[in-house]
Amino acid sequence: MRLTSRKQYEEFRVRATRRLEGMRCRVLVCTGSGCLAGGAREVAEAVEEGLRERGLLDGRQGVEGKRTGCHGLCEAGPLVSIEPEGILYTRVTPDDVPEILDRTVLGGEVVERLAYEDPRSKNRVVHYRDIPFYKYQTRIATRNVGRVDPHDLEDAIAHGAYAGAVKALFEMTPEQVIDEVARSGLRGRGGAGFHTGRKWAACRRAPGDVKYVICNGDEGDPGAFKDRAIMEGDPHSVLEGMIIGAYAVGAREGFIYVRDEYPPGVLTSLHAALEAAREAGILGRGIFGTGMEFDIRITRGGGAYVCGESSALMRSIEGKVGEPRAKYIHGTERGLYDRPTVLNNVETWAHVGAILTRGGEWFAGMGTPKSKGTKAFSLSGKVRNAGLIELPMGTPLRHILHDIGGGIRGDRPFKAVQTGGPSGGVIPEALLDLPVDYEQLTEHGSMMGSGGMIVMDDRTCMVDVARYFVRFLNEESCGKCVPCREGLLQMLHLLDGLCEGRGRPGDLDRIERLARGMKWGSLCDLGRSAPNPVLSTLRHFREEYEAHLRDGACPAGVCRALTQYEIVPERCDGCHECVEVCPTAAIAGKPKQRHVIDQEKCIACGECFNVCPVDAIRYGPKARPATASAGATT
């Protein structure tokens, strides 16, 4: 059906909403990437087959099964929710499906053993709204992710899709749309946090009849998981935001730039949404019967991290090498094909429709004075409840990690959280009460970036963390400018030396001088922000660097060249668990007898330490030849 007027859209929305509200029970199976890895496809097939066998398929008796995007709580997947009751089942297998259908869908009972288990109290929590992971969230960009079938336009419209676009096209001028976005305080959710309304206004003012809007879906760091989840689970929110942006700046063509190695579900959802929108008259000529003409194409990138940078991304769309341009050339004046261009990331576009629907002041009422609204994060690392979350700006880190994240896995001591992706920095335990917004993170040596949040415990070496991110950035640097290309290479060489026992006096000063040079002289933000992991770990954990350099020791027991593991005889009970996990068969001993480690075979991987139930494994500095000394080169 083509929606060629506002009236037709409203009538279609009313019918879709009534159908949704008329459903007695909806079985929603998460088919996001995390749950798919755990077998969610087989669970979804079992649900469909079970509904067919019971005569409930295709909405009969007010029951339907849907495959949705990510529900967020990836740690507990595969997930199945039962609506409208709001029941959530975790770690579901195909064998569990008949019981869910018979007892819950048909019988109205709860399958307690499949309910979420609180990691602290060990109590079962049945409903979404009562699980701390969900209870403390405020979802706007991810409002429909996990709630709608991304391949069903009717389902999306029943949940509010395109209401903001209709309001903009029929009730507002382009200038009013820009003013509303500016009033909301929305800032870019993928990088430095530039004000969205200001960017749109600059593009609209720029001379020229040909203008473009672009969705950056290419950010390659862990935080971009939330962008993939939105594109895969609620693609219509992205399309709606781009339609509104195109109307505001006067663009007739848009692009979604997607990494080629993304899961197939991302591209499948986007293509299905684009086709459905075109067939319904939401994209193309005469959108909703107005005089607006706008369409969107998908461009697949080659996976270069630098193409997350705006000007490099635009060059890639043009078919050129993805290299950044000097920043005195503004994309809103000379962007794609040297035409005025607005580029925002997935999460930013997904916010726009809700802002237009509910108003800029509503959005600005959340967050902090300078960082408005909500922010989605990918919570990962040594935290119990890893997954996708969305919270008001200014939420304290402590609340995120302990109340929503469920605390540190294994009850180990918290050490730091790394935010902002590979170019971000670390926040130590002393700053756990820090409110998370653009200004606070930047002030303490980190950044918002695209929303990656990696939790680290006491078994994390901060020198090794810095080395990991510098190695990644060194491989991903385009090499166009000397400060980034050579600075990263030399910084990696120095960090390798520290982790391998080859550090020399003065190395820390050399690292800091390199970092200052890169920040001052690099062409784009990849080079300028690349020192963040190093500088922030030096700032907050300098004693670890000094231990590597001065003592030839890794306090966390991670750097293998510096670490030796031993078994404490009086503590070992011969449980044999360390023997089972040792990759080099370096541990000898019969069950229920004391074990020993063969230092010739041991590679200091630490697996024995991680599994020992009686704390019988200890680590310390590796014994070095008598001729060697701390800080000497080898």
What tens digit of pLDDT does each residue of 342-371 get?
999 999 999 999 999 999 999 999 999 999
3-state secondary structure of 575: coil
Q: Provide the pLDDT confidence category of residue 628 given band limits of 50, 70 and 90.
A: very low
Paired with 345 in beta bridges are 216
- On whether both 455 and 410 belong to a single domain, the answer is yes
Closest CA to 165 of 54, 296, 76: 296
**pLDDT mean over 157-165:** 97
Most confident of 218-222, 256-260, 505-509: 505-509
In a shared domain, residues 195 and 308: yes
Same domain, 485 and 341: no
In this structure, are 182 and 311 located in the same domain? yes
Same domain? For 407 and 433 the reply is: yes
Does any domain span residue 608? yes
CB 557 within 8 A of CB 460: no
- Paired residues of 375 in beta bridges: 391
Measured between alpha carbons, how far is 557 from 609 in angstroms, rounded to an integer? 10
Where a domain ends, among 551, 581, 601?
551
In a domain, 3, yes or no: no
630 assigned to some structural domain: no
Whether 205 and 281 share a structural domain: yes
Angle at 475 between CA 470 and CA 479, to 5 degrees: 105
State the residue range of the domain holding 594: 560-621
Angle between helices 507-521 and 532-540 (to 10 degrees): 140
Helices then strands (H, E): number in the chain? Answer: 25, 20
Domain match, 51 and 110 both: yes
Helices 174-184 & 196-205 angle (0-180, nearest 10): 150
Q: Kindly indicate the confidence band of residue 323, based on its pLDDT and cuts at 50, 70 and 90.
A: confident
Claim to verify: residue 489 and residue 589 sit in the same structural domain = no
Least confident of 3-7, 60-64, 82-86, 513-517: 60-64
What was the pLDDT predicted at 510? 94
Domain identity same for 191 and 103: no
Query: Interhelix angle for 482-499 vs 507-521, to 10°?
Result: 160
452 within a domain of the structure (yes/no): yes
| Section 103-123 average pLDDT | 93
User: What average pLDDT does range 230-237 have in this prediction?
Assistant: 95
Does 634 have pLDDT greater than 70?
A: no
By residue count, the chain amounts to 634
Residues 6+ away with beta carbon under 8 Å from 17: 158
Final residue in a domain of this structure, among 411, 427, 460: 460
Per-residue pLDDT band at 445 (split at 50, 70, 90): confident
CB 209 within 8 A of CB 396: no
Q: What pLDDT shows up at residue 327?
A: 72
Residue 320 pLDDT > 70: yes
Same domain, yes or no: 238 and 122 = no
Closest alpha carbon to 572 in 606, 596, 603: 596
With bands split at pLDDT 50, 70 and 90, how would you rate the model's confidence at 220?
low
CATH of the domain at 431: 3.10.20.600
Pairing mode, if any, of strands 284-285 and 253-259?
A: unpaired
Are 529 and 221 within 8 A, CB to CB? no
What tens digit of pLDDT does each residue of 237-294 get? 999 999 999 999 999 999 999 987 777 778 899 999 999 999 999 999 999 999 999 9
pLDDT at 411 over 80: yes
- Give the model's confidence band at 377: pLDDT under 50 very low, under 70 low, under 90 confident, else very high: very high
Residue 11: inside a domain: no
Is 269 found in the same domain as 329? yes
Q: What percent of the chain has pLDDT over 70?
A: 97
Residue 497 maps to which CATH number? 1.20.1440.230
- pLDDT category, 221, cuts 50, 70, 90? low
Residue 100 lies in a domain: yes
pLDDT over 80 (residue 623): no
Same domain, 189 and 328: yes
Q: What per-residue confidence (pLDDT) applies to 630? A: 41
Q: Are 448 and 420 in contact (CB under 8 A)?
A: yes
- pLDDT band for position 480 (cuts 50, 70, 90): confident
pLDDT at res. 527? 87
CATH number at residue 109: 3.40.30.10
CA distance 225 to 223: 5
Q: Assess whether pLDDT exceeds 50 at residue 219.
A: yes
Confirm whether 631 is domain-assigned.
no
Residue 141 within any structural domain of the chain: no
Query: How high does pLDDT run on average in the chain?
Result: 91
DSSP, res 115: B
**Residue 321 contacts by C-beta under 8 Å, 6 or more apart in sequence?**
315, 478
Question: What percent of the chain has a predicted confidence (pLDDT) above 90?
Answer: 77
pLDDT at 632: 38
Q: How confident is the model at residue 464 (pLDDT cuts 50, 70, 90)?
A: very high
- How many CA atoms, within 13 angstroms, populate the side-chain half-sphere of residue 256? 32
255-269, 443-457, 565-579, 613-627, range with the lowest pLDDT: 613-627
Q: Residue range 462-479: average pLDDT?
A: 92
The Cα 374–Cα 245 span in angstroms is 20
- Of the residues 340, 364, 388, which one is the last residue of a structural domain? 364
Q: Which residue, 40, 64, 44, is CA-closest to 54?
A: 64
What does the alpha-carbon distance between residue 144 and residue 159 come to, in Å, rounded to a whole number? 7
**What's the domain count of the chain?**
5
pLDDT at 627 over 60: no
